[in-house]
Structure 1
Amino acid sequence: MDIDTAAVDNAALALRYLTLHDHDRVWKNFGGDVMNWLYSMIDDPVNKAKSVVLIDEGLCESKHLFKQHFSAPAAKVSHETNF
C-alpha cells in the first residue's frame, strides 16, 4: 500500500484543532472523550510502556480507517493489450 504522507501530516495537524484553547494553543494530547474511546481499543492502556497492544477490534478498525483515509491513489492501469 502506498501511503499519502501529506494526508497523514494534515490529519495530525487537523486533529490538534480538537484541543484548541486560548485562541492559539493546542494540547499535545487529546481530550478525555477521545482518549476514553481510544483506550477502549487498547489492551491495558494504563501502563508505563511507550507502546500499547490494540485489541482485535481496535487493530481491525485502525487498519480500515488508515486505508480509507491515507492510501495514495492507485496508479492508473492501462487496459490496452499489445498482441
Structure 2
Amino acid sequence: MRDELNEELTLMLLYLNSWQEKLGDFQVTRSWKGYDYATLNLLSEKGLIDGSGRKKSVYFYPQGVEEAKRLFEKYGLKID
C-alpha cells in the first residue's frame, strides 16, 4: 500500500509541477525529476513517464497525463 501511494503521489506532484513544451511538431508535458529514482523508474516501467538518461526532467506519455488526472479525481482534488 505504501509503495502504491508513493507512486501515485509522485505522479501527481510531477504533473502538478509540469509545464507544456514544444518538441518538434508536438506539445509535450515535462516536469523536473527531483523525486526518488526508484519510484521514477517504476513510473517509467509502467509507461507513464520517460525519465531515462542523465536528463534533469521527465516527459509524460499521454497515458501518464491521464493517470495523473484520474488520481487527482480519486483523491477529490481539483486542478486547472
Structure-1-length-normalised TM-score: 0.37
Q: Which has the higher contact order (CA 8 A, sep 6+)?
A: 1
TM superposition score normalised by structure 2: 0.39
Q: Choose between structure 1 and 2: higher strand proportion.
A: 2
